[in-house]
Amino acid sequence: MKRIYTILCSVTLLLASCTKKQNVDLIVHNGLVYTVNETFDQMEAFAIKDGKFLEVNSSDYILKKYSAPSIIDLKGKFIYPGLIDAHAHFYMYGTGLKVADLTGLTSFGALVKAVKTHRKSHPNQAWVLGRGWDQNLWPEKSFPEKTMLDDAFPDTPVLLTRIDGHAAIANQKALDMGGISADTNILGGKVILENNRPTGLLIDNAIDQVSSKIPEISNEESRQALLDAQENCFAVGLTTIVDAGLDKSTIDLIESMQKEGSLKMRVYAMINPTEENKAYYFEKGPFQNESLTVRSFKIYGDGALGSRGASLLAPYHDAPDELGLLLNTPENFLSLAEEIHDHGFQMNTHCIGDSANRTLLNIYGKVLMEDNDQRWRIEHAQVVNPQDVEKFAAYNIIPSVQPTHATSDMYWAEDRLGHERIKHAYIYKDLMDQNGLVALGSDFPVESINPLFGFHAAVARQDANNWPADRFQAENSLTREQALKGMTIWAAYANFEETIKGSIESGKLADFIITDRDLMTAPEESLRSIQVEATFVGGEKVY
């Protein structure tokens, strides 16, 4: 009898344990969850424990199986994996929030006025700095010269960078401090002259000779820049940023702030290829944890199309004497590629023009050979000759592109390239078809930090005013599913991070966003106005 009683008690305890709910940290239910897993499943709910998705399933299943101190009822709203910007300048964006904002100004006179206003509110800064001008928005569409800046600032150095970062206008004081004269020759850069005198316009590497004289900002200012950038990025649903070009000191600061908990943004850092950076990271080797990945070098192949610095196979349509320029020699690019490969890092190269793309694709091919999993990237891949497109597939090269570049450049890009060559530019679908993926970014602060602008541009091939009606080269638009993958799981893959993020699946980091409308079904013309209502990193609400 005693034995039967013992068995009954054991069965009772077993049944009780079977019905007891498992404790987790957070339950989210009653929503439409786009998991972006391999089959692009849609679910309703998930449970989070220790900063990771524990299980994803129906609302009934999750609520019956788990209990949590915090439960969110989505009331039918929409969830996606945390968005990844596959190419941006996070730290630069943060520091740039303190300089004169010149974006959208419609004349050089308006620019000078804005710079004067900025100076009045920042009278103690040693330099007057600004960013964002675009001569294509001005009536004359011609590059500026420095006379008005010399008159306004005879004794204070001024350096104002173009929207793409590949051209800048400096006043005479800044040119003098940089040692710039009519005789200055710089590999990969140009000093623009008129009547054998510098106009103040500097292209690509020539900018560095002046900008190197700007005093470094303090550690506290750097910290604040990162925090300011983080706040704005979380507000638009970004949970991981690929920062395209950082020095060791900034990477160290990012890592320390992540460890102390003040910087919650996850970062994939591309290293600037200085001798100091190479020496340190080649010895250290690639590094990755849940918050930081350091396994690539950012190389600049050429300049930008807007400033005619992009390296083309044939002359510019609107400047028959110009071919643009490579920022280094092919021999030096090859040597650098071999170094990077031998030390186990990715090479991620900025290539805008078709000549730059051909040069670097051929160098990648020589170093990588076929059937590799090195995941080397071409950043921008903006103008690619049809003969070179298949090289992305041949050598498993990832195209890392920015859809809003197409819709920002479409007003004037044909002027630069001509009617035939424009067809080989911004070919996002053609590039995606090579290896079945494309990593999507914004290149902010060149473009807006809002990733939904890029989502709209990729899908609709239209600007914020839904122009043009017949879409800009619509044959290279992406589907909504492809665009979402491009800024989640495909971007994670390009970072060697696909096993820890990029989709809402058991065991992955609990990074996700909640939106007020459905990206997958909302009318195209409303995509840019969809609001991110909440952003979570590791299960913690950060916005």
- pLDDT value at position 14? 46
Considering its fold, how many domains does the chain have in total?
3
In a domain, 142, yes or no: yes
Residue 362 amino acid letter: N
35 lies in the same domain as 106: no
Helix (H) or strand (E) holding 59: helix 59-65
101/204 same-domain check: yes
- pLDDT score at 125: 87
* Coil, helix or strand at residue 11: helix
Residue whose structure tokens are 């035939």: 420
CATH code for position 336: 3.20.20.140
Please state whether beta strands 197-204 and 167-170 pair in parallel, antiparallel, or not at all (unpaired): antiparallel
130 in the same domain as 265 = no
Q: Do 195 and 224 sit in the same domain of this protein?
A: no
Final residue belonging to a domain, choices 32, 48, 76: 76
Instruction: Assess if residue 11 is contained within a domain.
Output: no
Whether residues 203 and 234 share a domain: the answer is no
CATH of residue 106: 3.10.310.70
Q: What secondary structure letter does DSSP report for 502?
A: S
Give residue-wise pLDDT tens across range 234-246.
999 999 999 999 9
Domain membership of residue 261 (yes or no) is yes
In-domain check, residue 125: yes
Domain that includes residue 42, residue range: 17-76
Write down the pLDDT at residue 188: 85
Does 252 lie in the same domain as 186? no
DSSP label of 247? -
**Which letter does DSSP use for residue 465 in this model?**
T
The per-residue DSSP string of 367-410 comes to HH-SS-----EEEE--B--HHHHTHHHHTTPEEEE-HHHHHHHT
pLDDT of residue 270: 98
Q: What is the pLDDT of residue 124?
A: 84
Same domain, 190 and 232: no
Instruction: Quote the CA–CA distance of 257 and 144 in Å, as a whole number.
Output: 40
Asked whether residue 8 is assigned to any structural domain, the reply reads no
Residue 158, phi then psi, degrees to nearest 5: -130, 135
Residues 388 and 351 in one domain: yes
Residues 170 and 56 in one domain: no
Task: Based on the fold, state whether residues 465 and 342 are members of the same structural domain.
Answer: yes
On whether residue 1 sits in a domain, the answer given is no
**pLDDT for residue 314:** 98
User: Within 13 Å of residue 183, how many CA atoms lie on the same side as its CB?
Assistant: 1
Residue 85, token pair as written in the block: 């910007």
Going by their DSSP bridges, the two strands 83-88 and 238-246 should be labelled as parallel
pTM score, whole prediction: 0.91
- Single out the residue in 194, 211, 228 at which a domain terminates: 211
327 within domain boundaries: yes
What's the DSSP call for residue 326?
Answer: B
Q: Could you read off the pLDDT of 357-410 as tens digits, one per residue? A: 999 999 999 999 888 999 999 999 999 999 999 999 999 999 999 999 999 999
Q: What is the pLDDT of residue 19?
A: 66
The per-residue pLDDT for 13 is 39
Beta strands in 459-531 (DSSP E): 512-515
The whole-number mean pLDDT for each consecutive block of 10 residues of the chain, a chain of 543 residues, reads 43 51 97 98 98 98 97 97 98 93 92 92 89 90 91 93 90 93 89 92 91 92 97 98 98 98 98 98 97 98 95 97 96 98 98 98 96 97 98 98 97 97 98 98 96 98 97 98 98 98 98 98 97 98 98
Q: In sequence order, what DSSP letters do the residues of 429-462 get, joined into one string?
A: HHHHHHHT--EE---TTSS-S-HHHHHHHHHH--
Domain end among 176, 211, 246: 211
The residue among 166, 97, 106, 102 whose CA lies nearest residue 133 is 102
CATH number at residue 58: 2.30.40.10
- Do 445 and 371 share a domain, yes or no? yes
Specify whether 260 is located in the same domain as 359.
Answer: yes
Residue 10 lies in a domain: no
